[in-house]
Amino acid sequence: MPLKTCPSGHQFHKSSDCPTCPICERERRPSSGFLSLISAPARRALASMNISTLLELAKFTENEIAALHGMGPNPIAKLKIALAEEGLSFKK
């Protein structure tokens, strides 16, 4: 595996062409809240839609969110639980 260096200067080995630095991803991972429950690809998918709160998430249908690259069944299930805990749900 080739040694790669991210713009922040972290060096890491990665077998894929994905440019995402695993060290930067660990540093960006929230320590609390619903975003801390899901994987980095799922967080990036939500960020690409400017979704950072459950109220913003509730404006979208489950199918719209599930169609995002990086969003799979596991994060969708976790998001549904997080929404329900706040009395919210995906848009119908």
pTM of structure: 0.75
Rounded to 5°, the CA angle 31-57-44 comes to: 55
Q: What is the pLDDT of residues 73-88, one digit of tens each?
A: 999 999 999 999 999 9
Nearest CA among 51, 23, 26, 49 for reference residue 39: 26
> Could you tell me the domains of the chain?
1-30 (no CATH), 31-92 (1.10.150.20)
Contact present, 63 and 73 (Cβ < 8 Å):
no
Task: Write down the pLDDT at residue 25.
Answer: 77
- Residue-wise pLDDT for 35-89, tens only, equals 999 998 999 999 999 999 999 999 999 999 999 999 999 999 999 999 999 999 9
- Would you state the structure tokens that stand for residue 91, as one six-digit string? 């848009």
Contact 27, 52 (CB under 8 A): no
DSSP reduced 3-state for 74: helix
Q: Provide the total of helices (H) and of strands (E) in the chain, helices listed first.
A: 5, 2
In angstroms and rounded to an integer, the radius of gyration of the C-alpha atoms of the chain is: 15
